[in-house]
Amino acid sequence: MAKKQAAQDAPAADKKPSGKLKIIVLGLVALLVIVGATVAATWFFLGKNSDAPAPAAEEAAAAEPVRKPAIYEELTPAFVVNFSDNGRARYMQVSVALMSRDQAALDALKVHMPVLRNKLVMLFSSQQFASVATPVGKEMLRQQATASVQELAQKEIGKLAVEQVLFTNIVVQ
């Protein structure tokens, strides 16, 4: 009788894992279906027209001008000017470079180089020693030189050929 009971218990034991196994398999299949649907939806919404840029991106790219590389023109020889400081002779030597992004405009400005150098010499020689002895004073002088050169370029060639005037070397004594 124990053998009959053991024989009946064995098929019953096989049925329970079979039911649990079905639940596990169905759960895995449902999980795979959900993951597949998520991947498909993501690919559909985000991957759609991925090779063609969006119209808004095209308009933004067209509206934003492409920034050209900087071109530097060194003004040689360096400017050497003298000025008076309470009766004492002072000297200043300034090496200047012009920064532009338009080679044609810079070439057009080269024709007017004597006028440009004259304006800068007059600007540099009109400075006070106390103002150009400080870093802030030197920066203010650089900004004044930039404004002076831009004004000349606007007057002579009709556009701002120079973005900045840079001091590559400045000595004040």
Tens-place pLDDT, residues 6-23: 556 555 555 555 778 888
On whether both 87 and 42 belong to a single domain, the answer is no
On whether both 82 and 149 belong to a single domain, the answer is yes
Percent of the chain with pLDDT over 70: 79
pLDDT exceeds cutoff 90 at 113 = yes
Among 41-45, 159-163, 165-169, the range scoring the smallest mean pLDDT is 41-45
| Domains: count for the chain | 2
On whether both 87 and 59 belong to a single domain, the answer is no
Domain termination residue (choose one: 45, 63, 81): 63
On whether both 147 and 89 belong to a single domain, the answer is yes
Q: How confident is the model at residue 91 (pLDDT cuts 50, 70, 90)?
A: very high
On whether both 77 and 34 belong to a single domain, the answer is no
pLDDT score recorded for residue 39: 84
- The better pLDDT of the pair 78, 47 is held by 78
Q: How confident is the model at residue 61 (pLDDT cuts 50, 70, 90)?
A: low
Percent of the chain with pLDDT over 90: 47
SS3 for the chain is: CHHHHHHHHHHHHHHHHHHHHHHHHHHHHHHHHHHHHHHHHHHHHHHCCCCCCCHHHHHHHHHCCCCCCCEEEEEEEEEEEEEEECCEEEEEEEEEEEEECCHHHHHHHHCCHHHHHHHHHHHHHCCCHHHHCCHHHHHHHHHHHHHHHHHHHHHHHCCCCCCEEEEEEEEEC
Q: How confident is the model at residue 153 (pLDDT cuts 50, 70, 90)?
A: very high
On whether both 93 and 51 belong to a single domain, the answer is no
Q: How confident is the model at residue 169 (pLDDT cuts 50, 70, 90)?
A: very high
pLDDT score recorded for residue 17: 57
Residue range 103-127: average pLDDT?
93
pLDDT score recorded for residue 40: 82
On whether both 10 and 91 belong to a single domain, the answer is no
- The CATH number assigned to the domain holding 132 equals 3.30.479.30
Mean pLDDT of the residues in the chain:
83
Its domain, for residue 16, covers 2-63
